[in-house]
Amino acid sequence: MFEIAIRDDLKISQDEMIFIAGPCAVESEEQLVETAKFLSRLGVKILRGGAYKPRTSPDNFQGLGEAGLKILASAADQTGMAIVTEVMDTENIGIVSRYSDILQVGSRNSQNFPLLKKLGRQKKPVLLKRGFGNTVDEFINSSRYISRGGNRNIIMVERGIRTFETSTRFTLDVSAVPVIKEMVDYPVLIDPSHPAGKRQLVQPLALAGIGSGSDGLMVEVHPSPESALSDREQQLDFQQFEKLYRTSQSMFSFMRGQTFLEMEKRER
Ligand code: PEP
Ligand code: MN
């Protein structure tokens, strides 16, 4: 029965669906604040957005760095939302934790052991993404590098693995959710955006993730996805996000509140 204090006034636990949303990358104050206001009106409490971006090509947008962190802090100030953003490097832990409530380890850094060890020795919660080439066992071992340092405030995120399938960007491994939940008492979230690669696949993957027993979602949303500087094809616009938010909340309540067994009992 996990419970993680994100801030003094914000805890996450199994009782409520954990929803993290925001753009792939912080691009401007206007883009992020507009997104944060929209999300917080809906009831989303944790805002995502990369300031340091791990891009496959060095030619692509790399993020705004500290300027992006300041924009995240301003959006948090204006809405009361908590922030999660990626820390790519041991050198940046100090600066990222000055602005962010949760420190994100991306898929490409999931086995960066010096980074994991150092994050284990500080107090902020760590959101650990599964490496797209890692088994569940390797993923659990990555979390052990963090917990061994004393920090057990870990959020595990399944975000798709690389398989022979090319019709999606990655293959979302929903089987990982119940397997991980048997092994560790941490929240397990699904990121349906990165495996989908295309926005029309985000909702089916999100619902499959909730159906597999995940504790919540981490989803990319952008005020005008067609002009996004990264992951343009997979970010939802506000209307699509709102639909996903409401559908997934009701599926989550169904999963937690009314198991088939309970429904059967009532019918008898
Ligand atoms: C992200 O969530 O910003 C991200 C880069 O995802 P991943 O590390 O899973 O590729
Ligand atoms: Mn992205």
Residue 152 backbone dihedrals phi, psi, to 5 degrees: -105, 10
Residues lower than pLDDT 50 in the chain:
none
Ligand nearest to the CA of 193: 2
The verdict on the CB of residue 159 being under 6 Å from ligand 1 is yes
Q: Which residues does 34 contact at the CB level (< 8 Å), separation at least 6? A: 223
Residue 130 CA to residue 224 CA, distance in Å, equals: 28
Nearest-CA residue for ligand 1 atom 10 is: 107
Residue 159 CA to residue 180 CA, distance in Å, equals: 14
pLDDT at 256: 87
Residue 193 CA, ligand 1 centroid: distance in Å: 9
pLDDT at 161: 98
- Report DSSP state, residue 61: -
Residue 268 CA to residue 266 CA, distance in Å, equals: 6
Three-point CA angle 233, 136, 218, nearest 5°: 35
Residue 264 CA, ligand 1 centroid: distance in Å: 40
State the closest ligand 1 atom to the C-alpha of 218, by its place in the atom list counted from 1. 2
Residue 105 CA to residue 115 CA, distance in Å, equals: 9
The verdict on the CB of residue 23 being under 6 Å from ligand 1 is no
Residue 233 CA, ligand 1 centroid: distance in Å: 14
The verdict on the CB of residue 192 being under 6 Å from ligand 1 is no
Residue 86 CA, ligand 1 centroid: distance in Å: 8
Residue 188 CA, ligand 2 centroid: distance in Å: 19
The verdict on the CB of residue 194 being under 6 Å from ligand 1 is yes
Considering the domain delimited by 3-267, tell me its CATH architecture. Alpha-Beta Barrel (3.20)
Instruction: Using a CB cutoff of 5 Å, list residues around ligand 2, an ion.
Output: 24, 231
The verdict on the CB of residue 107 being under 6 Å from ligand 1 is yes
The verdict on the CB of residue 129 being under 6 Å from ligand 1 is yes
pTM of the model: 0.96
State the closest ligand 1 atom to the C-alpha of 220, by its place in the atom list counted from 1. 2
State the closest ligand 1 atom to the C-alpha of 53, by its place in the atom list counted from 1. 5
- Nearest of 98, 105, 102, 106 to residue 10 by alpha carbon: 102
- Dihedral of alpha carbons 191, 81, 24, 106, sign: negative
Considering just the CA atoms, what is the radius of gyration of the chain in Å?
Answer: 17
